[in-house]
Structure 1
Amino acid sequence: MVEAAATSPRFHRARGFRSLSQSIQFALSGGIVMLAAMFLAGVVISGIVTRAAVESTATSSALFLDSLLSPLVQELAHRDLLGAQAIARLDATLKNGAFADRFAHVDIWRNDGLVAYSTTSGLIGGRFPLPEGAAMAFDGEVSARYTDLAAGEHVARAWTTKYLEIYVPLREHRSGRIIAVVEIHELTQPLEVKLLRVRIHTWLVVTGAALSIAAALTAVVYRNSRLIAQQQIALQNRLGEIERVSNQNSELRMKVQRASGRLVEMNESYLRNVGAELHDGPVQLIGLSALKIEQVRRASNRSGRETILSAIEGLLGDALRDMRAIARGLMLPEIQQLSLCEIVTSVARVHEQRTGTAVRVICEGVPLDTPQAVRLCAYRFVQEGLNNAYRHAGGHGQTVECRHDGDLVILRVSDDGAGAGGRAERHDGSLGLLGLRERVESLGGTFSVRHGPQGTVIEMSAILNGGEEA
């Protein structure tokens, strides 16, 4: 059943409608509602205006007839039918001139259905059911309606044409009571022309108002729809950017975690190497010195003791030199109070003194408050980079560059030799390029090595505001 509903034409039309833009959806749905409202308003207003026009015509006719006929029918206050003289005056008034052209027929009713006068003389004195409009007029209300061709008086005249019937009460002058009702039959053609014009004006006004409202609302919805569409596109782009940055952050976090893990392993390996160096060097010499102390005790003469003590002194001196050498490899110079540029320059000058080579240093615009972790990493980076340049390129064209770019500090060590030739990774207990890569990436930075005919370039970048956290 669900599949049948999903494949029905109504379902597809609903999906097609929802796929349209909001402005088009509003134009379609609002247009249907607006057309229905316009049609209903047009019908109601047209009916009201038409009725008002008919009543206006009836009122104007009533005033005219009351002033014209009321003096001629005053004798009906005392008798049922008019005299011959009164009928003659009415015929002269109603059957000739402009009045006859406008009002085709005139009847005067008594309240008992007696026709007291009619322009159709054969109806005078006849009795018929009192028309509804005449009954309302006897109650003092002017009314108008179209001819009922089935009424008895119209059947007697064999009428086939409809007129506008207007019923006007006629009153006695002295008492004001209604003594008769005049029914006039007005030609409908002038009224129909007037009503047609009124209907056309009414429909034009209603249609214009509806179209103006629809256009204004559609314009507002269209503008808002475009704004919403632009915001949706911007939001989608923003979500895509957030997703991309989130993926980059996830990758960077995993990269930092892996680098931190490898750095821990390298530190452990480095400590084992230091332990091995201490065990194989100074510890062995100190142990040998301890054995010779027993020989001093057993020496038979002073000359023998002096000889043994001299040997012990030499062993302890060798052990002390080895321990100092190991300590120099473990200790960094005092860099707590130095800026990053001063650290880079200091490492370069020490390298020049030790190797007798020249190092060009370029360091400009670097902030003074660089995090400690970044300065330690920069010290090791420049030290190892210059050592590699001296070892593999003979110290030719050694250059150290340090610059600031936004939130990043960028360090580059280059030479103009033949490159490392695959010997960049060292396993002699020093930090090496592999250790540098792990240290830099543990700070959230990047590390790269480029070899070429023009020499080797190693480069690192680190985030200034993330160094302390790393």
Structure 2
Amino acid sequence: MSLTRQFVLTGGVIMLVAMLAAGLFIGEIASRTTIENTASSTALLMDSFVSPLAHALATEDILPPEEREELNELLSGDHFKQRFPYLEIWKEGGLVAYSTTENLIGRRFTPPDGLIVALGGEISAQYANLDAREHLDRGIDSKYLEIYVPVREHSSGRVIAVAEIHESTQQLEHELWWLRFKTWLAVAGATFIIMFGLFGIVYRGNQLILSQQRQLRGRMVEIEQAAQHNRILKERSQRASGRVAELMENYLRRIGADLHDGPAQLIGFAALSVEHVRRARTDAQREEELHALETVLSDALRDIRTTSKGLMLPEIEDLPLPAVVRQVVSNHELRTGTEVLVHCDDISHPLTHAINICVYRFLQESLNNAFRHAGGNGQRISCKLDDSVLSLVVEDDGGNGPAELASLDSGLGLVGLRDRVESLGGIFRINHRTDGGTRVEMSVVVADEEQND
């Protein structure tokens, strides 16, 4: 499950339990406080007219008849009697010194808990225990709030009696109901506000985590793809390097064979001719042998120069790409008498020497093949540098070139050219168009420092 769902489930349960506990606790405190405040108000009211009439209880066990009649008259009002239907004045030991129920006066009952507290000098309030004997004798079956008020002697302040007032709970229950309702409403509102606030924080955090996870997964996919691509390039580069080494070995063997079969044979023949010159008997014969020796040495020197010309490249290390392209095109046009169209971007920064050599050999081999197989028909070159990727394309429109020009080969051929490009981490492609033309393309990544040197 997502973090949001986990929070809704676990956090919802925790907040619900906390809300119930807080509601019950606060509601109980508020209800108890309301009851105590009601008891205090009632006690203050009753003490104002009970205390002056009960001072005789400091010496008497039962309230005298005169005070009893006066209390009866005070408590006989309908509104007062409706709110406070019963009143007892207790003495220590559970003796009833006065009661609105005449048959309870002078009798002893088990002291209620509130009476014991009030005899200690504190106001006490509790709901009536309808199973108490004094209530059973009167037949009380309604729920009342019993408020116990200490009655003190004016001179000494000691508790001489306790007044028990029975207050109707109808108005109190109505107040308590509204109080509990407001308490639960406040607790529930605060709980939901806290819950929604925390939910918003968790939701935003969860969305951020999900977004980062998606980005990480995307990055992992990109990294895996890049790693796979790098492995492919590495394998391709290793294969290309191996093939280049093999081709170079074959190339060196061919050069060695050309030197052995050409200049070496001629020089060997010239060495034999020196002996003929030495043995010549006449000046004419010696001149003839020297002329033959000169001819052989000239042929050997020509063969050596021809071989060296194929091995050497012009100085292109510090040239920008357009200059390298122009040099290859100029040499090709002079050698073949054909025309090459060039569309090359203005790439002013010099490239590495390895890339320059690769570009030179690529253009040289591709143009030679275009001349050999297409007769130089529609030769064109395009080059561009796009986002550190150098791309070169050589195209022709097809046709048949003269067969005698097949020897215009740079030496490595297309296989060696592909290996040279791939050894630099590049891509080499050959496409034969339906109209008979050919498109040869290479692309290689150029590092930033190579562009900014």
Same fold, TM-score > 0.5, yes or no: yes
- The equivalent residue for 2:444 is 462
| 1:155 CA displacement | 3.1
Matches within 5 A, 1:70-89: 70-89=51-70
Which residue number corresponds to residue 33 of structure 1? 14
1:174, CA displacement in angstroms?
A: 2.0
For residues 5 and 12 of structure 2, the distance between their equivalents in structure 1, rounded to whole angstroms, comes to 10
Change (3 A) 1:426 1:59: farther
Partners of 1:277 and 1:467 lie apart in 2 by 42
Q: How far apart are 1:443 and its partner, in Å?
A: 1.0
Deviations 1:394-445 (A, max 9, x none): 112111222221202221111112489xxxx999781211111111111111
User: 1:267 corresponds to which residue?
Assistant: 248
Measured in 2, the distance between the counterparts of 1:188 and 1:429 equals: 116
Is 1:405 equivalent to 2:386 in the alignment? yes
Query: Which residue matches 1:314?
Result: 295
Q: How many Å separate the matches in 1 of 2:76 and 2:170?
A: 20
Deviation at 1:278, TM superposition (A): 0.3
Structure 1: which 5+ runs fail to align? 1-19
| Alignment match of 2:226 (pick from 239, 245, 256) | 245
Following TM superposition, where does structure 1 have runs of at least 4 consecutive aligned residues deviating by more than 6 angstroms? 425-429
- For 1:63 and 1:230, how far apart are their aligned partners in 2? 68
Checking the alignment, whether the CA contact within 8 Å between 2:391 and 2:444 is kept in structure 1 is: yes
- Distance between the aligned counterparts of 1:429 and 1:374, measured in 2? 17
1:417 alignment partner, SS class: coil
1:227 aligns with 2:195: no
Residue by residue over 1:31-85, the C-alpha shift from the partner in whole angstroms, topping out at 9 and shown as x without a partner, is 1111111111111111111111110110001100111111111111122222111
Partners of 1:171 and 1:177 within 8 A in 2: yes
**Would the aligned equivalents of 2:53 and 2:67 in 1 still touch at CA under 8 Å?**
yes
Quick one: distance in 1 between partners of 2:148 and 2:188? 36
Structure 2 CA distance for partners of 1:418 and 1:22, relative to 1, 3 Å: farther
Q: Which moved more, 1:224-233 or 1:36-45?
A: 224-233
Equivalent-residue separation in structure 2 for 1:25 and 1:405 (angstroms): 50
Residues 427 and 124 from structure 1, CA distance in 2 versus in 1: closer, same or farther, beyond 3 angstroms? farther
Partner of 1:170: 151
| Change beyond 3 A, Cα 1:363–1:445 | same
Question: Which whole-Å CA distance do the structure 1 matches of 2:18 and 2:449 have between them?
Answer: 70
Say yes or no: does 1:362 pair with 2:361.
no
User: How far off its partner does 1:183 sit?
Assistant: 0.5
Asked if residue 213 in structure 1 is aligned to residue 194 in structure 2, the reply is: yes
Moved more, 425-434 or 127-136: 425-434
Q: For 1:104-126, what per-residue CA distance to the aligned partner results, in whole angstroms no more than 9, with x for missing partners?
A: 11110111321110111111111
TM-score (norm 1): 0.90
State yes or no: 1:101 paired with 2:82. Answer: yes
Residue 71 of structure 1 aligns to a residue in which SS?
Answer: coil
Higher mean Cα deviation, 394-403 or 319-328?
A: 394-403
* Structure 2 CA distance for aligned equivalents of residues 244 and 386 of structure 1: 36
Please give the alpha-carbon distance, in whole angstroms, between the structure 1 residues aligned to 2:122 and 2:242: 106
C-alpha separation in 1, matches of 2:137 and 2:317: 129
3-state SS of paired residue (2:53): helix
**Counterparts of 1:67 and 1:320 in 2: how far apart (Å)?**
146
Aligned-pair distance for 1:293?
2.1
Mapping of residues 18-417 of structure 1, within 5 Å: 20-417=1-398
Contact 1:371 1:465 in 2 (8 A): no
The residue number in structure 2 matching 1:12 is none
**Distance between the aligned counterparts of 2:354 and 2:281, measured in 1?**
60
2:54 partner SS? helix
> C-alpha distance in 2, partners of 1:104/1:336?
120
Distance across 1 between alignment mates of 2:277 and 2:448: 60
Alpha-carbon distance in 2 for matches of 1:107, 1:264: 122
Structure 1 residues 139 and 119: alpha-carbon distance in aligned structure 2, compared to 1, 3 A threshold: same
With over 3 angstroms needed to count, the CA separation of the structure-2 counterparts of 1:122 and 1:65, relative to structure 1, is: same
Deviation at 1:192, TM superposition (A): 1.3
Tell me how far apart the structure 2 counterparts of residues 130 and 464 of structure 1 sit (CA, whole Å). Answer: 105
Give the match's secondary structure for 2:239: helix
Distance in 2 (CA, whole Å) between partners of 1:341 and 1:303 is 58
Q: Percent identity?
A: 49
Q: Is the 8 A contact 1:366 1:402 kept in 2?
A: no
- Residue 3 of structure 1 is matched in structure 2 by none
Moved more, 253-262 or 293-302: 293-302
Q: TM-score, normalised by structure 2?
A: 0.94
Distance 1:233 1:28, change over 3 A: same
**RMSD over equivalenced CA pairs, Å:** 2.0
- Deviations for 1:140-169, whole angstroms, at most 9, x for unmatched residues? 100001112232322332333332110001
Structure 2: which 5+ runs fail to align?
A: none
Aligned to 1:14: none
The letter for the 1-side match of 2:417 is L
1:299-323 per-residue CA deviation (whole Å, 9 max, x = no partner) reads 3333333322222221111111110
SS in 2 for 1:141: coil
Q: Which amino acid aligns with 1:258?
A: R
Residue correspondences, number: 445
Residue 428 to residue 375, structure 1, CA distance change in 2 (3 Å): closer
What amino acid maps onto 2:216 in structure 1? Answer: L
The equivalent residue for 1:9 is none
Query: C-alpha distance in 1, partners of 2:87/2:227?
Result: 95
1-structure distance, mates of 2:63, 2:371: 145
